Amino acid sequence: MFRVLFVDDEPQILNGLRRMLSGSKERWQVLFAGSGSLALQMMEVSPVDVIVSDIRMPEMTGPQLLREVRRLYPATARVVLSGFADEAMIRDTIGVAHQFLSKPCDAGAIEQVVRALAAARVRFPVAELRRMAGDGTCIACAGTDRARLLEEVADPAATVRTIGAIVRGDLGMAARTLHLVNSAFFGISRCVGCPEHAVQLLGVERLRALATSATAFPGVRAGDDPGFREPAVALHAERVAALARAIVEAEGGSKAMVEQARLAAQLHDVGRLMLAAEFPARYRAVVDRSSAADREEVERGEFGASHAEVGAYLVSLWGLDGEIAGAIANHHRPATCAAGFSVLTALHAADALVGEASGDRHTALDREYLAAIGLGDRVAGWSALQAAGASVVAPPATVGAGDDPAREATRAAWPSDA
């Protein structure tokens, strides 16, 4: 049974959680601990799938506890639930917590997070890769790029533009920045899909503090270049994000959908980054013996999962929207899930068209899928957007509240419910 452990030094908080989650007993085993040391003792007897911890606790703080959990049980999803979160404590928590929830938090919000994590675990059963994804150090910044970032933020004249250019040029750095700005760590209540916009929202001073934190932007990468150049991967992500944005706008999608498509596109190859960092020699061999057409199958044969599935699990662990995870999981095979125009449609088409234009076919365009959903005649127009050069660094969209029917298109493929 899926096991969830709540840790808080205040008995009334634990009692309130116990009452709120009393109806969850049939789905999950819910456990409670009044201290970090007790939580570790309980996990030594029987590890848990999710740990939800307060930040400020005596003897052992939340960040100290979560660092130990990451070291001992990296596959455990780590969530912070706290009413106290100053900048220093947040910086201490970033890198060891996957998600952040603020007190007071109702049962529905907590259950939604746990359901999504449980569903992701069911869809991604490869234990070894779950441990690596949970550890988090696989999404690292290239050493030279981290050095450039540190040098830039140390300059009093540094600007959002100069910092943003460095961040967007490194896939690991861009992924971590987008993870941070789309989490509840900083209270930004809208989806952000552009790395430079994320830098703008975080601000130079905050980025300066984060950049000096080895946990926020780790600069250690395991192995060397495993068959693809890091700058090329980052540039491909930018180009796909720009075209996905243009496609959604051309199809009349909402501003929220535009940002979702951009975010999914920026992160669609983050699974490659993890596999390449953790298994450099093996991943190089996979690249050498496969073509774009059969890359996913070769990856599954070698690792038990494709880079698309790895990436979807990572963003689910980070708490990103289920549609974004579904689009990433299925961007090479959209016909398996979505009906109607969706974030997945935009990502799949953009990835295929950008690859075709650059001569590096990451994805074969599924024309039968597009025809089946009534969009086969739109390809020429989307190709024209690509040929016209959809802006790689587009101005940030102002994302409003509210949903769009297209948001539901790929949730069935990567559901948020267990």
Residue listed under structure tokens 């109806």: 23
Residue 178's H or E segment, with its range, is helix 171-181
Cα angle 144-149-150, degrees, rounded to a multiple of 5: 100
* Contacting residues for 363 by C-beta, under 8 A, at least 6 apart: 292, 331, 332, 348, 351, 352, 355
Per-residue pLDDT of the chain (418 residues; tens, 9 = 90+): 899 999 999 999 999 999 988 877 778 999 999 999 999 999 999 999 999 999 889 989 999 999 999 999 999 999 998 876 566 777 778 878 999 888 888 888 899 999 999 999 999 989 999 999 998 877 777 767 888 888 998 888 888 889 988 888 888 888 888 888 888 777 677 788 888 898 988 888 888 888 777 677 776 544 444 444 456 778 889 999 999 999 999 999 999 999 999 999 999 999 988 898 888 889 889 988 887 678 899 999 999 999 999 999 999 999 998 899 999 999 999 998 767 899 999 999 999 999 888 877 667 899 999 999 999 999 999 999 988 875 444 433 333 333 333 333 333 334 333 3
Cα-Cα-Cα-Cα torsion 18, 21, 27, 32, nearest 10 degrees, comes to -30
> DSSP string spanning 68-91?
HHHHH-TTSEEEEEES---HHHHH
Taking the CB of residue 18, how many other CB atoms lie within 10 A of it? Answer: 12
What is the pLDDT, as a whole number, of residue 219? 64
Question: Which domains does the chain show, CATH number per domain?
Answer: 2-123 (3.40.50.2300), 143-211 (no CATH), 230-408 (1.10.3210.10)
d(CA 249, CA 258): 7
What is the pLDDT, as a whole number, of residue 190? 79
What is the pLDDT, as a whole number, of residue 361? 67
Q: Is the link from the previous residue into 104 a cis peptide, with omega within 30 of 0?
A: yes
Residue listed under structure tokens 């990103």: 320
Phi first, then psi: give them for residue 393, nearest 5 degrees: -110, 90
What is the pLDDT, as a whole number, of residue 263? 93
The CA-atom distances, in angstroms, between 155 and each of 148, 202, 288 are: 11, 17, 42
One-letter amino acid for residue 64 of the chain: Q
- Cα dihedral 353, 355, 358, 359 sign: negative
Please state whether the predicted TM-score (pTM) of the whole model is above 0.85. Answer: yes
Helix segments in 217-342, DSSP class H: 230-250, 255-267, 270-278, 280-289, 295-303, 307-317, 322-330
Residue 30's H or E segment, with its range, is strand 28-33
Q: What tokens appear for 8 in the block?
A: 């808080």
